[in-house]
Structure 1
């Protein structure tokens, strides 16, 4: 463990990759290393890239990373993909769409499976972010699965959230009504060479019109595949970064994010304890059969489980 810790501090990509794998597999050694090195975190600026499927998030992330790399900054990318129901691994592999970044020594790319997380964020994302922070990344991009309205958890993990939209999806207004777009700090209308791009931008600006104080999100037009609008988006992200620092909102957001992280860890540990106790006597399976056969009901079965773990 000492060896992998030293290698991480010395900037070893292999050590960072191994630690993230350990974290994904629930290996306590990864958490122990983070405990020892946690004072070295908090330096990386975390940027979330989210939006509906087909918005071009991977292409946009690729271009934004290259833009920041021109400034000599070390960058990490965590691409959250849908999870294979058979292997538990990521099934899309966003690194394929960022293949030319793999050879850049200043870029670390990792695909992670969402593993059933409804918020579009893998449970191991937080610890992976800490690992890349310790590894020395100055900017960390987190690209979500792309499942639309369930992706709001991204805002609990990032300093700046970039919402990517495209014209012609037909669900722009629905997304606005659902409130998903309220999480965006920077909006990007990608594939802006398509019909309806200006209309989509107007709709978003109208929705943002209610914000009279604090940060008013920017709306940028881009054709990421052609590298159009990338510098403007990078500028908006850095402008938001400066605003968050100078206004004090950045520190407040990080406190809120850590509160959310702590609650998630507590919930995960409690669920683990619950499963350990119920699985010992196959209680969960027995109750599931009873409920399925209508010999019991979910509420009474839940009370039985809570009594078993002394939580009732």
Structure 2
């Protein structure tokens, strides 16, 4: 498929086009980025739910339970699960597909695993483009599960409308919460595996931390207890998500998020230009001489502006 036919296939919801488009985006190629940017104009319809938390809290099981309950409500569901990459091959372990098998077998659910490829922040560089693709393809709800690094799961705030922070009793999550700064990340807290000893202590710890945050907000962050493997508390969790979506609409916060996402696309495009500038100058042998010029005392800012101007003129002439 060329870019135009792939673009049209994704808009039409063609599953083969979805798979090919996600592969383009995941590989980080220029064509993948162009596809994702073109699809952005067709986004803004899906509700995007981020699920984050430390390893072992049951995120994948929770995503599976949410997907199945949403399907009962006639929602189509796209799932993006970011897996840690192998330090040797760069590939992902992709264990989430196994844990979500029940929901993945549903034709109203489309699931894709993405490799983090060493990217910090809990997601992958391809995550935003993949979210755009599923949104443009017409999915009602998109569930994005972070890699579960537990310390810097902050990227999800840029892309999701509602962020669920998942904890579990007995894993030291009250201390983990302070370390990761999740008081600022979470819109809804989920205490999963709530049948375990210590569940009430975890809930009380969270309430105490929230009361100390000192931030006045019209949104009161709920704490929902679940047993995802038994589907306990899932309906209540979806109700909390629905309430947060209403809050976002009433306060025009969805428009703010949309603006930030468009701003991210512009910044990404500028970063791509700078990478292309450096690559071309290294190819022409200009880069090393420019570094030597700076070592000899030339102003670095002025040098950078000169090089960028020259590259843009050359690029325009080539077009």
TM-score bracket for the superposition, by shorter chain length? 0.7 to 0.9
Match of residue 119 from structure 2? 117
1:248 matches 2:252: yes
SS of the equivalent of 1:199 reads helix
Q: What's the C-alpha RMSD, in Å, of the aligned pairs?
A: 2.7
Whole-angstrom CA distance in 1 between matches of 2:264 and 2:85: 23
C-alpha distance after superposition, 1:257-293 (max 9, x if no partner): 4434533443354245435534665978xx9xxxxxx
The alpha carbon displacement at 1:73 in A equals: 1.1
SS of the equivalent of 1:213 reads coil
Correspondence for 2:56 among 49, 54, 57: 54
Correspondence for 1:221 among 221, 225, 230: 225
Whole-angstrom CA distance in 2 between matches of 1:29 and 1:118: 24
Whole-angstrom CA distance in 2 between matches of 1:204 and 1:100: 31
- After superposition, residues 270-281 of structure 1 pair within 5 angstroms as 270-278=274-282, 281=285
Whole-angstrom CA distance in 2 between matches of 1:304 and 1:60: 54
Correspondence for 2:167 among 140, 165, 173: 165
Match of residue 315 from structure 2? none
Match of residue 135 from structure 1? 137
SS of the equivalent of 1:47 reads strand
Whole-angstrom CA distance in 1 between matches of 2:276 and 2:86: 22
Whole-angstrom CA distance in 2 between matches of 1:180 and 1:275: 38
SS of the equivalent of 1:259 reads helix
Match of residue 152 from structure 1? 154
- After superposition, residues 54-203 of structure 1 pair within 5 angstroms as 54-176=56-178, 178-203=180-205
Unaligned runs of 5+ in 2: 309-319
C-alpha distance after superposition, 1:139-184 (max 9, x if no partner): 1111000001211111111000000001111242242255233210
C-alpha distance after superposition, 1:213-261 (max 9, x if no partner): 3211110111111111111111101110111111212222332344345
TM-score (norm 2): 0.84
Match of residue 293 from structure 1? none
In structure 2, do the counterparts of structure 1 residues 272 and 145 end up closer, same or farther at CA, with 3 Å as the change threshold? farther
**Retained in 1: the 8 A contact 2:77–2:109?**
yes
The alpha carbon displacement at 1:13 in A equals: 1.3
SS of the equivalent of 1:148 reads coil
SS of the equivalent of 1:90 reads coil
Match of residue 17 from structure 1? 19
The alpha carbon displacement at 1:104 in A equals: 1.2
In structure 2, do the counterparts of structure 1 residues 238 and 116 end up closer, same or farther at CA, with 3 Å as the change threshold? same
The alpha carbon displacement at 1:300 in A equals: 6.4
- After superposition, residues 283-298 of structure 1 pair within 5 angstroms as none
Whole-angstrom CA distance in 2 between matches of 1:113 and 1:282: 35
**Retained in 2: the 8 A contact 1:278–1:305?**
no
SS of the equivalent of 2:155 reads helix
TM-score (norm 1): 0.85
